[in-house]
Structure 1
Amino acid sequence: MSTNAGIRKDGDDDLDRSVRDLLLLMPQIMGRVKRLPVPPDLRDMELTPRHLSLLSLLLFDGSMTVNELAGRLGVAPTTASLMIGDLSRKGILTRQENDADRRQKIIGIAEGHRGAIETWLAPGARAWHRVLAPLSAAERRLFVDTMVAYHEATQDV
């Protein structure tokens, strides 16, 4: 069975056809993301896709404060704190005092789990590199901006 059954590739740019194609494709993409195998070191930790976003940020952008993480994830600081607390108790994240402001904690990935997290994220990162590499910088920006706009448009749905 084809994973993109019914999705046209003949240049048809009718808006309704494009919407139809994306509505067919998005559940397939999400299903595939949800089936990404969790590395053995992390399997018993009950991680979910929302954890994957938080871990991706820390892996690619480095350690940051709770408020920075919350802002980049688009969640309230209390929501970020709950996720961070959960992952910290499991030993996946570390919390260190911020030398510049002792009231703040700097959140990072525990070194003992960094390799497993990189392994978990690698297939998605490779796929994005493969499909984005042929695009110009402007085309990549348009794609990312469109995905962000779609995400924002579905917030109130």
Structure 2
Amino acid sequence: MPATPPVHPVSGDPDDTEGLDGAIRTLLLVLPRAVGRIKRLEVPGELREMALAPRHLSLLSFLLLDGPMTVRELADRLEVAPTTASLLVGELSRKGVLDRREDAHDRRRRIVSIPESARPALEQWLAPGARAWRTALTPLSPAERRAVVRAFTAYEAALAESDGS
């Protein structure tokens, strides 16, 4: 009986028949294509003139998915200093993408939210990425999902370390 030839990972077959180097080759092909597709997502007209940057996407995504929160909560989720989160919130508030209001229970705190007028455009812009992740992660077990998240987090950290940021 003839031996079955190994499946080349660049062909798209997810089997890890070539080991670590095969997985790395596949990811080196797939990730730039994914980033290119993300960059080509059309920004809705009402957001285009606001010059929103990638640094805003995580903040906006947290607020869309999790609802209103304090600047401190945003800083914790974004893994940045509260002053950095506050600067981002101020920038987006001036552009009309965020609302800041006083916390009814503690007047020193500010609650940040997405105004209803901005919600449809933001959802339209960010939804394709969320749908793609949902499609990719749904068939996985919770342990497999945690492994994917850990791998992407470690990958980003290694890139940050190599470029000194």
TM-score by length of 2: 0.84
Query: Of residues 135, 139, 148 in structure 1, which corresponds to 2:140?
Result: 135
**Residue ranges of structure 1 left out of the alignment (5+ in a row):** none
Report the Cα distance in structure 2 between the residues aligned to 1:103 and 1:146, rounded to whole angstroms.
Answer: 38
Code of the residue aligned with 2:134 in structure 1: it is H
Matched, 1:111 2:116: yes
Report the Cα distance in structure 1 between the residues aligned to 2:22 and 2:144, rounded to whole angstroms.
Answer: 21
Q: Which residue of 1 aligns with 2:98?
A: 93
Deviation at 1:13, TM superposition (A): 4.2
Q: Deviations over 1:120-144 (max 9, x none)?
A: 1111121112121211222112211
Change (3 A) 1:140 1:42: same
Contact 2:16 2:22 in 1 (8 A): no
Change (3 A) 1:84 1:8: same
Contact 1:7 1:24 in 2 (8 A): no
Contact 1:54 1:69 in 2 (8 A): yes
Where in structure 2 are the equivalents of 1:23-62 lying within 5 Å?
Answer: 23-62=28-67
Total equivalences in the alignment: 153
Deviation at 1:68, TM superposition (A): 1.0
Say which SS state the counterpart of residue 112 (structure 1) adopts.
Answer: coil
Contact 2:10 2:25 in 1 (8 A): no
Relative contact order higher in (CA < 8 Å, ≥ 6 apart): 1
Higher share of residues assigned strand: 1
Q: Which residue of 2 aligns with 1:150?
A: 155
Identity of aligned residues (%): 56
From the CA coordinates, give the structure whose radius of gyration is larger. Answer: 2
Q: Which residue of 1 aligns with 2:6?
A: none
Mean CA deviation greater in 111-120 or 128-137? 128-137
